[in-house]
């Protein structure tokens, strides 16, 4: 019973880490470069959850000050993650530009085929 309670109270962390590990698995195990970048962005979004879920207070409201409310969720993680999202899309754009450039040179975006072509030369 205690175990179930602990699991339910930490369910947000369990899913966060599941997403994190799924992203890591895609980056490590998949050879396609577009897929790798999507895995990287899944890893990134899991970090958003890692920051924002501890900031939530049950019964609290969004941190926009109003006399009608007294309990607000923590605004600081929101600010940090707001910055992280925008930086994330910038790195994604740069990575995709590199993929397009690699495709132009090698004619493929599969890691195995690129290694094979490098070995031939």
Partner 1 sequence: MALLTLLAAVTVAIVRQRSLFGVVVLAGIYSFLMATLLIALDAVDVAMTEASVGAGISTVLLLATLHLTKTTEMSPINRNWLPLLVVLIVGAAVVWGTLSLPPFGVADSVVHQHVAPRYLAQSIVETGVPNVVTSVLADYRSYDTLGETTVIFTAGIGVLLLLRGLRRRDDIGGGGES
Stretch 32-51 residues interacting with partner 1 (CB under 8 A): 32, 34-35, 37-38, 41-42, 45, 48-49
Cα separation of 116 and 58, whole Å?
54
Q: With CA atoms as reference, report the closest residue to 36 among 120, 121, 102, 81.
A: 102
Task: Please count the other Cβ atoms lying within 10 Å of the Cβ belonging to residue 92.
Answer: 15
Site for partner 1 in 51-80 (CB under 8 A): 52-66, 71-80
Q: Which residues pair with 61 in a beta bridge?
A: 72
Is 108 a binding residue for partner 1 by CB under 8 A? The answer is: yes
Q: Cβ 72 to partner 1, closest distance in Å?
A: 6
Q: Please give the C-alpha separations between residue 100 and each of 49, 56, 105, 109, 110, in angstroms, as whole numbers.
A: 30, 40, 9, 8, 12
Query: Per rule CB under 8 A, is residue 29 in the interface with partner 1?
Result: yes
Quick one: which of 1, 2, 11, 114 contacts partner 1 (CB under 8 A)?
A: 11
Per rule CB under 8 A, count of chain residues that contact partner 1? 85
Member of 89, 115, 119, 120 binding partner 1 (CB under 8 A): 89
């Amino acid at each position: 019973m205690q175990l179930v309670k602990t699991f339910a109270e930490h369910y947000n962390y369990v899913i966060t880490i599941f997403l994190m590990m799924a992203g890591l698995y895609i980056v490590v195990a998949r050879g396609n470069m577009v897929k790798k970048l999507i895995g990287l962005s899944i890893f990134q979004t899991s970090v958003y959850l890692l920051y924002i879920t501890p900031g939530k207070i049950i019964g609290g409201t969004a941190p926009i000050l109003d006399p009608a409310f007294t309990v607000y969720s923590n605004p600081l993680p929101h600010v940090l993650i707001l910055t992280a999202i925008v930086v994330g899309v910038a790195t994604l754009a740069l990575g995709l530009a590199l993929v397009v450039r690699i495709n132009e040179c090698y004619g493929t975006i599969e890691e195995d085929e690129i290694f094979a072509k490098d070995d031939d030369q």
